[in-house]
């Protein structure tokens, strides 16, 4: 394989619907396959849950996101990236993209989320339709793996030396809008212990 092709393969992810195909360590499976709100699950596994908003701004979406959210090419989107912290330890890096053509009627609360969980606006809204979960192994060259690792270091958390990060993504629809959420699970999630039934 040429160096260029190898580089490209390290930057890409093979998203697919079968979680077992990831060969992820068993501890990740309950997190990857969580059918409800990830926020609710993280809250149930910590005494203090926080959404650290890294940014919410316009950006160009990743090449493997465009078609999923209905764009013909990797165009401009609203991009939100956060660290989900459990007892101040980052457990998940989340990346959400919404086409800039979306209107406030599509996602009325998205633009003003701040450090409120996106999940709190998606789950419980009867107009929101959730798609199927897709899963992938993110190698070190994947943009989201790089951003997750950089966010950890910038936030003062310990760097992650695991070569592969396990991720899932899900498309949400509401009226004419599309919204793609990608959640990258950090190894610290394996250390979380269910502490309460806080499923609010």
Which residues lie near ligand ISJ (CB under 6 A)?
37-39, 51, 80, 82, 84, 92, 94, 96, 117-119, 122, 181, 183
Q: In the bound complex, what is the minimum distance in angstroms from residue 79's beta carbon to ligand ISJ?
A: 11
We find the least distance from the C-beta atom of residue 112 to ligand ISJ, in angstroms, to be 12
Q: Least Å distance between CB 77 and ligand ISJ?
A: 14
**Nearer to ligand ISJ by C-beta: 94 or 152?**
94
82: number of CA atoms within 13 Å, CB side? 24
Cβ distance to ligand ISJ smaller for residue 7 or 131: 131
Contact 142, 149 (CB under 8 A): no
The dihedral through the CA atoms of 104, 106, 110, 111 has a sign that is negative
Q: Are 166 and 138 in contact (CB under 8 A)?
A: yes
Rounded CA-CA distance 92/182 in Å is 10
Task: Tell me how far apart the alpha carbons of residues 51 and 88 are, in angstroms, rounded to a whole number.
Answer: 10
CA distances from 114 to 69, 106, 118 (A): 22, 18, 9
Alpha-carbon dihedral sign for residues 124, 127, 132, 138: negative
Alpha helices in 45-189 (DSSP H): 119-122, 143-154
Q: How far is the CB of 108 from ligand ISJ (least distance, A)?
A: 15
Nearest to ligand ISJ of 71, 182 (CB atom): 182
Residue 133 or 157: which CB sits closer to ligand ISJ?
Answer: 133
Whose CB is nearest to ligand ISJ? 119
- The reply to whether 62 sits in an annotated binding site is no
Question: Of 38 and 151, which has the nearer Cβ to ligand ISJ?
Answer: 38
Query: Per the annotation, does 130 bind a ligand?
Result: no
Please tell me whether 79 is known to bind a ligand: no
Residue 104 DSSP symbol: T
Residues forming the annotated binding site for substrate? 80, 118, 183
Q: Annotated binding site: which residue ranges?
A: 80, 118, 183
């Amino acid at each position: 394989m040429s160096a260029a092709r190898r580089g490209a393969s390290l930057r890409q992810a093979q998203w697919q619907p079968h979680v077992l195909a990831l060969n992820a360590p068993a501890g990740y499976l309950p997190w990857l396959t969580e059918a409800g709100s990830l926020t609710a699950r993280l809250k149930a596994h910590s005494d203090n849950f926080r959404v650290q908003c890294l940014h919410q701004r316009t950006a160009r979406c990743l090449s493997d996101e465009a078609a999923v959210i209905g764009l013909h090419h990797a165009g401009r989107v609203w991009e939100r990236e956060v660290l989900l912290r459990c007892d101040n330890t980052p457990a998940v890096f989340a990346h959400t993209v919404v086409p800039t053509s979306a209107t406030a009627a599509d996602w009325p609360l998205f633009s003003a989320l701040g450090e409120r969980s996106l999940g709190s606006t998606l789950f419980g809204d009867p107009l929101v339709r959730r798609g199927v979960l897709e899963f992938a192994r993110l190698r070190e060259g994947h943009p989201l793996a790089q951003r997750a690792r950089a966010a950890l270091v910038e936030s003062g958390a310990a760097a992650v030396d695991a070569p592969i990060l396990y991720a899932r993504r899900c498309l949400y629809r509401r009226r004419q809008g599309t919204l793609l959420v990608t959640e990258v699970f950090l190894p610290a999630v394996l250390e979380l212990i269910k502490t309460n039934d806080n499923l609010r």
